[in-house]
Amino acid sequence: MTGLRIEYKDPKGLKPRARNPRTDSKKQIRQIAASIEQFGFVSPVLMNANDRIITGYSRVAAAIRVVWLAALLATLVLPARAADIKIMVPGPTFAGMNALAQSFNTENAPALKAVLIGGTVGTIQKNVATGMPADIVVLPAADMDVLEKAGGIQLGSRVELGRVPFGLAVRSGAPHPDISTPEKFRTVLLAAKSVSYNDPAIGSLGGVIVAQILARPEFAGVRATPSGGARTVKDGNAEIALQSLSELVGRDGVELVGLVPAYLDAHMDFSTAVLSHPTEPAGAAKFLHYITRPEATIIWKAYGVDR
């Protein structure tokens, strides 16, 4: 049967459902036990991954009465559990990775399942440093260099994932300002009542880059706060969001106006690799190939990552 596998379990360790739809009398249990002794355990019991009985409670109760069967172990059929492939993904690459993970899971069910562990770049770095169990990590290229030199990734598994530029967004339905030249971009920021970006203090690399932009002399006087970028603009608490393109495209409640001027050289380069001690080595290799194959490029592009 697809999605099922046979295992041997001690019937004493199995648990009935809280609301078992059928309850047999002691006499019926004795009759089932007698049948098992005469003909053997010919009809399997269905249970879930937590040893909770789905069907066959009476057979299990009867099996416990049969000394030889209780001693040997009953034959059970269980739904197969997918092998989880854990991927640590920072915010700027999360949306694209999530889209690819969903299609991967659909194509590989029930054997494999990609599970994303999100967070800021700083959070991902801490997770890796503390040894959180995972299979694949996505990091800025410079941070991946450090991890690679420290032996934190499998040799030869590293792939350059792509570049994420930065953009300016406004609330959905608001007029789109003209930012087509560096001077117009500067004028728009200075005229804005409020500019929001991600907070560098919580480990946001994007927040660090925007803060560096706003610290330039030509942007002195811009009313900016590290208050969440697009989320704050969507809520009506800021007029403009400066954020990575991948966190703006397709985002509910905001509209992308355009990219920041090229002269600011605002971008993040990301790499991905299999960690040195993956929990699912074969699955990790398969998923890494899936997200970096040529067919995945269009998905990454749609979510603001240039490969």
Within 10 angstroms of residue 283's Cβ, the number of other Cβ atoms is 23
Contact 230, 248 (CB under 8 A): yes
Same domain, 142 and 286: yes
Same domain, 146 and 286: yes
Within 10 angstroms of residue 154's Cβ, the number of other Cβ atoms is 20
Max CA pair span of the chain: 91
Same domain, 287 and 228: no
Rounded CA separation 34/69 (Å): 12
- Is beta strand 159-171 parallel, antiparallel or unpaired with respect to 240-244? antiparallel
Same domain, 127 and 273: yes
Query: Within 150-194, where are the H helices?
Result: 182-191
Contact 169, 255 (CB under 8 A): yes
The pTM assigned to this predicted structure is 0.74
Same domain, 187 and 233: yes
Same domain, 263 and 170: yes
- Structural domain harbouring 44: 4-79
Task: Please tell me the predicted confidence (pLDDT) of residue 7.
Answer: 64
Q: What's the domain count of the chain?
A: 3
Same domain, 131 and 178: no
| pLDDT tens for each residue of 200-257 | 999 999 999 999 999 999 999 999 999 999 999 999 999 999 999 999 998 999 999 9
Same domain, 156 and 222: no
For residue 14, tell me if it sits in a domain: yes
Residue 147: C-alpha distances to residues 125, 126, 133, 154, 279 (Å)? 9, 12, 16, 10, 18
Read off φ and ψ for residue 149, nearest 5 degrees.
-65, -30
Same domain, 97 and 126: yes
| pLDDT tens for each residue of 134-175 | 999 999 999 999 999 999 999 999 999 999 999 999 999 999
Task: Please tell me the predicted confidence (pLDDT) of residue 29.
Answer: 72
Same domain, 273 and 153: yes
Task: Please tell me the predicted confidence (pLDDT) of residue 285.
Answer: 97
Residue that is last in its domain, among 79, 100, 116: 79
N- to C-terminal Cα separation, the chain: 41
For the chain, what is the mean pLDDT?
88
Rounded CA separation 121/131 (Å): 16
Q: Check which CATH number belongs to the domain holding 109 and give it.
A: 3.40.190.10
Same domain, 74 and 124: no
Same domain, 153 and 277: yes
Question: What pLDDT band is residue 41 in, cutting at 50, 70 and 90?
Answer: low
Residue that is last in its domain, among 79, 100, 125: 79
Task: Please tell me the predicted confidence (pLDDT) of residue 73.
Answer: 37
Rounded CA separation 287/274 (Å): 10
For residue 307, tell me if it sits in a domain: no
Residues paired with 47 in a beta bridge: 53
pLDDT for residue 302 is more than 70: yes
For residue 9, tell me if it sits in a domain: yes
Residue 294: C-alpha distances to residues 15, 117, 137, 298, 299 (Å)? 48, 24, 20, 8, 10
Residue that is last in its domain, among 58, 79, 100: 79
